Structure 1
Amino acid sequence: MDGSLTRTLAAGLAAGLILAAAGCAGDQTGAISPVAVTVPPEAPRTTGRERGGSDADHAKLVASFGGEYRAPTALRMVSEVTDRLVRATERPDETYAVTLLDSAAVNAFALPNGRLYVTRGLLALASDTSELAAVLAHEIAHVTLRHASARTEMALRSELVSKVVADVLNDPATGALLQDQSRFVLARFSRSQEFEADQAGVRTLSRAGYDPFGAARFLTGLNRTMALKAGSGLATEADLLATHPSTPERITQVTQAARRIGAPGLGADDRVRYLAAIDGIAYGDNPADGIVRGRRFLHPRLGVTFEAPDGFALENTARAVLGTTPDGGRRLLFDAVETHAGQGLEDVLKATWNDAIDTGSFQNRMINGFPAVTAVSKGKEWFFRLAALRVGTNTFRLIMAAKGTADPEPAFERWLASVGGVGPDDARRLRPTRIQIVTAAPGESVEAMARRMVVGDRETERFLVLNGLDRGATLRPGQPYKIVVE
């Protein structure tokens, strides 16, 4: 993380960043093996399907997402849905190897070489097979439309033009301007690819016999999840340089695409079968690897905890805790760093931060009894507050970034002041959670079922989002629903 930290913070957080996650429950155990199952005019032409990527690359990617998640029933279901979708595409001869990732983030992606990855967090959020199929169809569309190759070639072309102008024509200023302009072109190109994949995905969804409105339902659930996580309840506008359009914008587009196919209720959703397949999968973080509870992060093994300032939504990834505000204007990063004997905290910051640090900003401090060093770094587009802090034998970095020239010091200081140790009692109270499928009893209310959830806060809101229900909804007796239990 340290080598690309500035780029990581400036690039922002995707909806589904990776989480190191928990073990198995119920029948979700056993060995896992992979199961085979028009580019925009401004893009260059591409031919053939790139089958690059070694087993070692696959292993590294999977490890960065917490490893493979061993859930044979769920894997079989995802593979069958994938196979059914591929047969409905314009490239039915292509094959995909499905891997489930042990990550609580809501994420899925397909590589040009035919590897398809789905997180258990995505399986937990989807409410039926058509919603899962909508996500898979979107990712498969990226592959069949050769989006990755086109994006790479466009990036290389933009870089080459900028370099020729700067070096060959001896005009560095114009070269730099063209490079900046190319970033906007690539961002628009990527967003257009997302829309194109959405449209193609909805068509494939329908041809495969699934409910084409599953795409809109899933994206609505994703939007509600992110709003709940951020505590805002409001949709945010996409960054001008964001590679994905805003979720509300995508919901509108896929809904219109589904309406062009037919009325709601067309196609199967296989809800009962889907819920049976995910019954027992792990939900949320594994306490042994650190856990997020609202704005609080606790890591029993490392013995550290902190609370993010108001407005930040946290994600616990395999290598760091990342946080962002709803508008993306402020971000934070917390991670552990390796140090050598005798290395001071000031040297830790210098060694792990690529940008220039204001030399006069270094301060030696004590934070709740822990030695720390803080500093400031000012980039072209971001203002950074940095800290290295030692808790026992472990050294941690706390980095907060604010877009523009505004100093995030007040929020950064509140964050620093919240850092503390994790006691044995706190560690014992943290247990892994899982999805349980339960049947609604006659007369049972949403509130009553939500009270059975082990989620820490806002049980009713989380139950509604998890089950794709609107406010004021009533439960249908005899129907299955998802709850979160220990």
Structure 2
Amino acid sequence: MKSTISKLCILIVIGLTVSACSIQRSAISGDKRAYGYSWEQEKQIGQEADQQIQQQYGLYDDDDLQDYVDEIGQEMLAVSHINREDTPSVYAGTDFYFRVLDNPVVNAFALPGGYIYVTRGLLSHLENEAQLAVVLGHEIGHVVARHASQRAFEQQMGQIALIGGAIGGELLGLPGGDILGIGSQAAQLLFLSYSRDDERESDQLGVEYASMQHYKAAEGAQFFVSLERMSEQAGQSLPNWQSTHPDPAERANSIPELAEEWRAKGYEQTIDNKDQYMEKLNNLIYGENPREGFTRNGLFYHPDLEFQFPYPDGWQVINQRSLVAVVNKDQDAVSIMTLDGESANAEASVNEFLNQEGINTEGKSRTQSNGLNAYRAEATGQTEDGTQLKFYVYAIEYDGSIYRFLNYTTADKYSNYASRFDEVTGGFRELTDRDILNIQPVRLQVVKTNRSGTFQSFLPRNLDDFSITVSPEDLAIMNQVELDEQISVGTWLKLPNQ
């Protein structure tokens, strides 16, 4: 809840086009080819979007872990095509940045120009440094091969329809570049699906870079086995590994084959650094961090900021650092709460929205809610395609901050949802329940076993008492074992602790 997101409009379709192309030499092959953006433009796009990504999701608060991931990333970068003697000069001196995002979703992604992200959720699902090296090498491969810019060029003269709330791509479980608040060019590149050939090339590059640094690159295959298990458990394809990606089982088979090719070329692969990796994971937050907001029995609680509010039955809550969105099942009504760090009071916050071009105010007034000063207004506007929208804007002053709710739907459905919007905004109040105020996240305790037994026999017996849902099967997948698998003495395990 550290920044405001402007011009949120889930129902607006944004047409994005690539206005020009750039002919430059490939860092991989050295051949000339067409890209949607120049390398300098890609670096600029990445730099601008990086700030928004950090604000939206936040960096994980562990400098030692951040430095460790950066160190491994820089190792992969040193042997990548960006740093070779025959690399075209346009790429010379490009800095890459490796960041750990405070998010439980298992994901890694890259922005053009050298910005690479892994989530704490992904780190918890890896077993050693060699697997991390392959993942980071894979993401470096996407950037160096300029896959996003290639896809952008292929879309030239066309449009990419981005519908906020139902965009054709997801990032860390939150739909929509508009909700992310990032620039249109960055949103376009983020949500362009890589082709299967792009993914296969990045797999090859990830294995190549890891092998050249003498990591056991074949270890990377086990991560894709975990992805396959996660997919099967969910009963569907994983949202972060879309249908354009090669099947995880295919990649689990191909990665050891690629690693063997590099071993045959003389690159000894002996490093996995499991001990060092496991030590870095000790005390890592597992799953959702309830201190940053969670739902229970129809209420959204935020222990750190000490507030709560209700949400309608059946509506989905999307909780991110910069906003909390509550969306109905049909996705035609939404309530979005942001922390307004600019306005002096609730009235100023509401007027800041009303003063935008194209917004027509129907009425506004001061009010009070649960002893807190608030200001409310109703207004109308329309999308670029002429769809009429009606807004209910509500700002409330609490604990020295301004919280603004932007509620809206189409004008013809507003009467159906007005009471729902009132339910959300009118229920905002101070959080006083000491049990909820004191709730703590689940953390990983990394241990070496001092006995043998099935994996399940090592799990805590009080999982049902944890602050979040912790599934034995999820823990087995995270440890890359089966629930009934025999674990020998001296095996590293990642177990939940609270």
Q: TM-score range by the shorter chain?
A: 0.5 to 0.7
The answer on whether the counterparts of 2:362 and 2:377 sit within 8 Å (CA) in structure 1 is no
Structure 1 residue 198: Cα displacement: 1.8
Structure 1 residue 217: Cα displacement: 3.8
Query: Pick from 307, 313, 316: which aligns with 1:312?
Result: 316
More strand by proportion, 1 or 2?
2
Percent sequence identity over matched residues? 16
For 1:279, the aligned partner's letter is N
Distance in 1 of aligned mates of 2:330 and 2:189 = 19
The answer on whether the counterparts of 1:383 and 1:404 sit within 8 Å (CA) in structure 2 is yes
Distance in 1 of aligned mates of 2:457 and 2:375 = 45
Query: Pick from 331, 344, 351: which aligns with 1:347?
Result: 351
Alpha-carbon spacing, 1:123–1:460, altered in 2? closer, same or farther (3 Å): same
Distance in 2 of aligned mates of 1:272 and 1:197 = 33
1:175-195, CA deviations, whole angstroms, 9 ceiling, x for partnerless residues? xxxxxxxx9xx9799645354
Distance in 2 of aligned mates of 1:265 and 1:189 = 29
1:374-408, CA deviations, whole angstroms, 9 ceiling, x for partnerless residues? 64656457966544142535332234566997667
Alpha-carbon spacing, 1:457–1:63, altered in 2? closer, same or farther (3 Å): closer
**Partner of 2:492 in structure 1?**
480
Matches within 5 A, 1:409-428: 409=417, 412=421, 415-416=424-425, 418-423=427-432, 425-426=434-435, 428=437
**Partner of 1:259 in structure 2?**
253
How many residues align structurally? 415
| 1:390 is the counterpart of 2:391 | no
Of 376-385 and 472-481, the range deviating more from structure 2 = 376-385
Structure 1 residue 118: Cα displacement: 3.4
Distance in 2 of aligned mates of 1:327 and 1:247 = 25
Matches within 5 A, 1:353-432: 356=359, 359=362, 370=372, 371=374, 373=376, 375=378, 379=383, 380=385, 386-392=392-398, 393-399=400-406, 409=417, 412=421, 415-416=424-425, 418-423=427-432, 425-426=434-435, 428-431=437-440
Alpha-carbon spacing, 1:188–1:363, altered in 2? closer, same or farther (3 Å): same
| 1:136 is the counterpart of 2:145 | no
Distance in 2 of aligned mates of 1:77 and 1:8 = 38
Structure 1, unpaired ranges of 5+: 12-37, 160-182, 228-232, 239-245
The answer on whether the counterparts of 1:202 and 1:212 sit within 8 Å (CA) in structure 2 is no
Structure 1 residue 302: Cα displacement: 3.8
Query: Pick from 273, 276, 284: which aligns with 1:281?
Result: 284
The answer on whether the counterparts of 2:148 and 2:190 sit within 8 Å (CA) in structure 1 is no
**Partner of 1:446 in structure 2?**
456
Structure 1 residue 437: Cα displacement: 0.9
SS of aligned partner of 2:403: strand
**Partner of 1:247 in structure 2?**
241
The answer on whether the counterparts of 1:298 and 1:422 sit within 8 Å (CA) in structure 2 is yes
Distance in 1 of aligned mates of 2:189 and 2:149 = 16
For 2:318, the aligned partner's letter is L
The answer on whether the counterparts of 1:450 and 1:463 sit within 8 Å (CA) in structure 2 is no
The answer on whether the counterparts of 2:133 and 2:206 sit within 8 Å (CA) in structure 1 is yes
The answer on whether the counterparts of 2:324 and 2:338 sit within 8 Å (CA) in structure 1 is yes
Alpha-carbon spacing, 1:4–1:215, altered in 2? closer, same or farther (3 Å): farther
Alpha-carbon spacing, 1:480–1:406, altered in 2? closer, same or farther (3 Å): farther
The answer on whether the counterparts of 2:290 and 2:439 sit within 8 Å (CA) in structure 1 is yes
1:400-429, CA deviations, whole angstroms, 9 ceiling, x for partnerless residues? 566997667276455446533212725651
**Partner of 1:169 in structure 2?**
none
| 1:71 is the counterpart of 2:46 | no
Alpha-carbon spacing, 1:269–1:286, altered in 2? closer, same or farther (3 Å): same
Structure 1 residue 110: Cα displacement: 3.6
Structure 1 residue 278: Cα displacement: 1.8
TM-score of the aligned structures, taking structure 1 as reference length: 0.63
SS of aligned partner of 1:213: helix
- C-alpha RMSD over aligned residues: 5.2
| 1:210 is the counterpart of 2:218 | yes
The answer on whether the counterparts of 2:287 and 2:468 sit within 8 Å (CA) in structure 1 is no
1:337-357, CA deviations, whole angstroms, 9 ceiling, x for partnerless residues? 243358267535424x66635
Distance in 1 of aligned mates of 2:138 and 2:330 = 25
Distance in 2 of aligned mates of 1:221 and 1:327 = 30
Distance in 2 of aligned mates of 1:237 and 1:215 = 14
Distance in 2 of aligned mates of 1:363 and 1:81 = 54
Structure 2, unpaired ranges of 5+: 15-28, 86-91, 160-183, 212-216, 261-268
Structure 1 residue 144: Cα displacement: 1.5
| 1:456 is the counterpart of 2:467 | yes
Structure 1 residue 48: Cα displacement: 5.5
**Partner of 1:100 in structure 2?**
99
Alpha-carbon spacing, 1:255–1:425, altered in 2? closer, same or farther (3 Å): same
Distance in 2 of aligned mates of 1:80 and 1:484 = 26
Alpha-carbon spacing, 1:403–1:81, altered in 2? closer, same or farther (3 Å): farther
SS of aligned partner of 1:210: helix
TM-score of the aligned structures, taking structure 2 as reference length: 0.62
1:305-344, CA deviations, whole angstroms, 9 ceiling, x for partnerless residues? 1354435253322x22346689977765321224335826
1:110-150, CA deviations, whole angstroms, 9 ceiling, x for partnerless residues? 44443434343432344444553454234212212223444
